[in-house]
Amino acid sequence: MSKKRIAILGSTGSIGTQTLEVIEEHSDKFEVEVLTAHSNADLLIQQAIQFKPNAVVIVDETHYKKVSEALWQYDIKTYAGLEALAQVVEMETIDIVLTALVGYVGLLPTINAIKAKKTIALANKETLVVAGELITKLARENQVAILPVDSEHSAIFQCLVGEFQNKIEKIYLTASGGPFRGKTRNELGNITKEQALKHPNWDMGAKITIDSATLMNKGLEVIEAKWLFNLQPNQIDVIVHPQSIVHSLVQFEDGSMKAQLGLPDMKHPIQYALSFPQRIFSKSARFNFMDYPQLTFEQPDTDTFLNLKLAYQALEKGGNLACILNAANEIAVDAFLKDKITFLQIATINQECMEKVAFIQHPTYEDYIKTNELAREEALSLI
């Protein structure tokens, strides 16, 4: 396998830092071409000095001078701003763009990377949630592979290797249930952000961890799965699996099922996306059946965790409704993390925005931009 040159969008976040660990472990197979961060200038500088990328982007322009002065002696190009983030993915020297950005901000860089015919390692689920039809159409037109990095979608993808000619009957996305599995709405009334940020199995960033606690993360994954694997809503099921060992399953039309299992470790799907179609050695801990004598499964409670139900509604209606849901949720989660609203109000705000923001059945890219703005404004007004 020739050395692959990787651009990591969001290198200072949880997925980004773990991607760099994978690259460091396999420096004979991968090298860093681009690193980007929103505002964590200190860590970006540290990463750049260690991995010597061709270029870095700091989105928050107030940190540009600090980053550029720290890196000029290493002959590393430094850029700043959202426009630079969207343009840097077009560099000819990039083989794979790993999008580890959180939220809507990942959309335009992914579009530009696809147009530049870069392989996409997708950890930014919001890109497909917001504009799945647009993104998948662009990928087909440019013959670009979108390789999923989310553990659940990576699991489905791995189960489908060698099976692409066979009809999928259904897929099952597994969910840990988050820190509040089994609790009632009354019990969730006084949940604090500190409680919500304590995920039982996964180490993730704050936004994704809150989304996991509300089951919105699973809802976004349901929508993402529709576009990744060309499925109908009734072909996508969610099953709560507290041990997080079975990462997801595929059921084929003959009734046979394939599952991908392993210890909860995001380095596995990251490495698989970077090395695909090959598998390469990993030093990660191995699963031992004796450590998990029981693997259990149960139905999610969509009445208590309303966000999952809202995601299915957005998926079934289509249009710009998932874009509305995503934008509202980003604002609501940020408000919860700033102690402005309660845990249960996150879903309430999402639902109200879905009802109030204008629905468009066949949105253009410009429609998505406007919808995102309107939904955010509506959510802020509700807060």
The answer to whether the beta carbons of residues 251 and 257 sit under 8 Å apart is: yes
Instruction: List Cβ<8 Å contacts ≥24 apart for 193-199.
Output: 193/336, 193/337, 193/339, 196/336, 196/343
Verify that 135 and 162 share a domain, yes or no.
Answer: no
Verify that 298 and 205 share a domain, yes or no.
Answer: yes
**Which one, of 136, 113, 115, lies nearest residue 230 by Cα?**
136
User: Which pLDDT score, from 0 to 100, does residue 10 have?
Assistant: 96
Verify that 191 and 264 share a domain, yes or no.
Answer: yes
* Token pair in block for residue 270: 């990251």
* Confidence category of residue 1, pLDDT binned at 50, 70, 90: low
How far apart CA 235 and CA 194 sit, in angstroms, is 35
How far apart CA 24 and CA 283 sit, in angstroms, is 12
Give, as one character, the DSSP assignment of residue 201. Answer: S
Q: Can you spell out the DSSP letters for 70-124?
A: HHGGGT-EEEESHHHHHHHTT-TT-SEEEE---SGGGHHHHHHHHHTT-EEEE--
CATH number of the domain to which 112 belongs: 3.40.50.720
Q: Provide the 3-class DSSP secondary structure of residue 171.
A: strand
The alpha-helical segments, DSSP class H, found in 242-364 are 267-275, 306-317, 321-337, 343-356
Omega of the bond prior to 277 within 30 degrees of 0, cis? yes
Verify that 197 and 130 share a domain, yes or no.
Answer: no
Verify that 104 and 49 share a domain, yes or no.
Answer: yes
User: Domain span at residue 367?
Assistant: 318-383
Domain boundary residue, one of 276, 301, 317: 317
Cα dihedral 354→358→363→365 (10° resolution): -90
Verify that 179 and 304 share a domain, yes or no.
Answer: yes
Q: Which helix (H) or strand (E) holds 6?
A: strand 4-9
Verify that 209 and 199 share a domain, yes or no.
Answer: yes
Verify that 40 and 98 share a domain, yes or no.
Answer: yes
Q: Which residue has the tokens 């801990």?
A: 285
Verify that 160 and 138 share a domain, yes or no.
Answer: no
CATH number of the domain to which 337 belongs: 1.10.1740.10
Range in 196-205, 232-241, 265-274 with the lowest mean pLDDT: 196-205
User: Which pLDDT score, from 0 to 100, does residue 201 have?
Assistant: 67
**Which one, of 217, 200, 233, lies nearest residue 300 by Cα?**
217
Indicate whether 262 pLDDT > 80. yes
Q: What is the pLDDT of residues 145-189, one digit of tens each?
A: 999 999 999 999 999 999 989 999 999 999 999 889 999 999 998
Q: What percent of the chain has a predicted confidence (pLDDT) above 70?
A: 98
Amino acid residing at 17: T
The answer to whether the beta carbons of residues 297 and 336 sit under 8 Å apart is: no
- For CA atoms 306, 308, 314, 317, the dihedral sign is negative
How far apart CA 349 and CA 86 sit, in angstroms, is 30
* Confidence category of residue 125, pLDDT binned at 50, 70, 90: confident
Q: What is the pLDDT of residues 299-328, one digit of tens each?
A: 999 999 999 999 999 999 999 999 999 999
* Token pair in block for residue 380: 């802020």
* Confidence category of residue 202, pLDDT binned at 50, 70, 90: low
Cα dihedral 368→369→375→376 (10° resolution): 150
Indicate whether 243 pLDDT > 80. yes
How far apart CA 143 and CA 122 sit, in angstroms, is 16
Kindly give the pairing relationship between strand 246-252 and strand 257-261. antiparallel
Domain boundary residue, one of 118, 148, 178: 148
Verify that 308 and 200 share a domain, yes or no.
Answer: yes
Verify that 351 and 249 share a domain, yes or no.
Answer: no
Verify that 107 and 252 share a domain, yes or no.
Answer: no
Domain boundary residue, one of 317, 341, 359: 317
Range in 80-89, 103-112, 151-160 with the lowest mean pLDDT: 103-112
Q: How many Cβ atoms sit within 10 Å of the Cβ of residue 231?
A: 17
Please tell me the total count of domains within the chain. 3
